[in-house]
Structure 1
Amino acid sequence: MRSIWKHEAHDFTLWLLENADVLGDALGMDLELTEAERRVGGFALDLIGTDLATNTVVIVENQLEQTDHSHLGQLLTYAGGTDPSTIVWCAPSFREEHRAALDWLNEHTDEETRFFGVEIAAVRIDESRPAPLFRVVAKPNDWTKQLHTERAAVSLSPKSLAYQGFWSELLTRIRSEHPAWTKSTAASTQSWITLPYGTSNIWYGMAFTIAGPRVELYFGASDAAVNLAEFERFLEYRELLDVEFGESIKYDALPGKKACRIHVDRLHGDVLDVDSRADYIDWFISTMAKFRPITQQIRATLESAS
């Protein structure tokens, strides 16, 4: 590894910051890494970012030698200081004791917290440039996590269970028909799910509102002024959406609130209407199939103009 990346912080960490998709593919995650060497107390976390499908925090600790106790301690220290949902440890090889430690953590934490061990390697064919090769060697035990989820489900309302079943079926369709939309397999028990847009402050939503099903682009940064500015930049190209959706598309700056949204609604529809489930799923997929390409086109235009 050190023949390719001489220095962990200066070379490998910065390379991974620019190539988060490689790690994301290995983890099955829509991953965006946003910062290297984040200060956590008196220490520096290698990388922090976001799972764009769930808008949750991901942290990554790297080393270019076999795993050691020091880095395991650092990993837990950084987790305590950043409250992540996904904790990733990357190294060329894992001691069996450290792999077992990650397995233990996965077995004894709830379904919202996930620990991964990823072995890093590189391959070269003839005189080609080295290509990274990541292999997941420790990951959440789906069966154990499922047991935790089932225990928690005992206290869920019938509507929460209906949402969970609906989103699970919808995500299965999406993974089959539109795998580029998301890598997420997590079925929410809420009235909404999110899909990545390409930046951590903006995301797509599919939701059941009081009025009925909705597909939206949600501007959700922590700063209201940032959201309004991004929303207004987007509106400069609204004619593309207007032509496709006409009066059915709405632009809501949501005065007095932090977020903004652009959305397409379907009148009437309730997740408890089981007989109409297939119809609702078809509507969500067909609407997003029109909505996403146009909004991605606008995103590309805005980024090229920046």
Structure 2
Amino acid sequence: MQEITKLEPVNSLWDVWSHEAYKFTPWLVEHKHFLEEALNFKLKDLKPETHLSIGGYVDILALHADTDDPVVIENQLGESDQSHCVRLLGYAANTEAKTLVWVAKDFTPYYQSILEWLNETKQLRAYAVAVRAYQARGVFSVDFQTIVEPEHPERSNPKRVTLSTYCAEFYRPVVDRLKREDMHITSKHRWAGRFRSFQSELDNVVYGTHVEDNIANVFVCFGWTEEALDKFKELQKYQEEIDAKIGESLIWMKEGEYSWEGFSHIVLSYNRPFTLIDSDEDLEPVRQWIVKKLLLFREVFHPLV
């Protein structure tokens, strides 16, 4: 019988490619079919390390094979971060490219939300592609997974379903139920993808929810303004009283202490086995929990904020 071996995850992409510019970028150009499969469109005329007249270098500048439209590709071996995000936005501002592709080991919800927001503007088409690496007996294999993509990208497979689709389907009943309770999704500081946010009575303070596999969060988010941060500090004085009214211990996270960068949060978490691809019947308890707890948050926090 032929021997079967197990693929083991590779924790660091640096073990596969020792340098972003000198190893990963040339490999990506040479093996563009991995990226094309994730994007679901063909690329041509890939040019690595392309110099911009205004300054700086694009990791890869390419053309959409069907439309000849420019495509900017920013790639990194680590998890999504601010420097690569800024570069990607800089490329959008200083090239004619309307299609932006960001390739990374993984993407935090914060950076996913930025790309989702870009897609909502309808002015740009933004993609987040995560790279997974595995090995067996010293041989590496890789898998490219689309995490964020435009709502209606050009593609040959119209039935393809992505994370954005699952999130939209999960949240639609939640948003509808909260709207009937006069709790409306907000156009300010609004997250998409795994996040949704809802109005409060104070500028730069929103109620919100976030879902990952096996966890759902509801939260009060305090923005960058001094007024909002002062409100968070003021509420901390009543932490025990607020926890008692909620009936559970909340997580109080100051700015800089949480992965949703740049904000302070008061968070309550739901930990049960579920994924966004589960059936509506299986996801219904999660939706009910989110609606119930957000309404409770409003009842408790509204008099305070």
Output the TM-score relative to the length of structure 1: 0.45
Output the TM-score relative to the length of structure 2: 0.45
More helix by share: 1
